[in-house]
């Protein structure tokens, strides 16, 4: 992800209406030396690239975090989310049993199914975590379990 990608990244975020990051917040993530910010950008029919998904990870040694992952509605269920997820998980070290954590809205059943399908395990919740009072479900994956 580059700063020039941010208008298209913000479009995806607004289309899915699941968080309210602004340009400055995304730009700070791009500049952070511990962050991995990736986009999925296939060539469109006209030969112009169009970002259809993105992911932001904090790679913090043995305990990393997936902060955000999103794929445009018309591009979902095509493996793009898995590719974005794998981009971050591939940076973890199975020999150190590195883990990746994330939180997701309790009511976001499609995201929860996606994470569970990809090896994440529910380990807890945070009551009234989001500004609207919705709970957060806490998930983690230990990279070793992904490989075996």
Tell me: the pLDDT tens digits for 131-140? 899 999 999 9
CATH superfamily to which 3-147 belongs:
Gcn5-related N-acetyltransferase (GNAT) (3.40.630.30)
Residue from 62, 111, 105 nearest 84 by CA:
111
* DSSP result, 4-17: GGHHHHHHHHHHHT
Token digits of residue 139: 């998930």
SS3 content of the chain, % helix, strand, coil (to 5): 35, 30, 35
In the chain, where are the structural domains located?
A: 3-147
pLDDT in tens, the chain (148 residues): 999 999 999 999 988 877 788 999 999 999 999 999 999 988 766 666 689 999 999 998 889 999 999 999 999 999 999 999 999 898 887 777 889 999 999 999 999 999 999 999 999 999 999 889 999 999 999 876 444 4
> What is the reported pTM?
0.87
């Amino acid at each position: 992800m580059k700063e020039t990608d941010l208008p298209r990244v913000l479009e995806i975020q607004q289309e899915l209406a699941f968080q309210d990051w602004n340009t400055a917040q995304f730009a700070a993530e791009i500049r952070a030396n511990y962050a991995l910010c990736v986009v999925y950008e296939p060539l469109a029919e006209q030969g112009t690239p169009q970002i259809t998904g993105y992911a932001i990870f904090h790679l913090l040694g043995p305990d990393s975090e997936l902060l955000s992952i999103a794929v445009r509605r018309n591009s979902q269920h095509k493996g793009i989310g898995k590719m974005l997820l794998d981009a971050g998980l591939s940076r973890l070290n199975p020999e150190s049993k590195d883990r990746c954590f994330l939180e997701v809205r309790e009511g976001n059943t499609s995201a929860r199914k996606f994470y569970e399908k990809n090896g994440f395990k529910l380990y807890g919740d945070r009551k009234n975590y989001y500004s609207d009072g919705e709970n957060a479900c806490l998930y983690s994956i230990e990279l070793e379990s992904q490989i075996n």
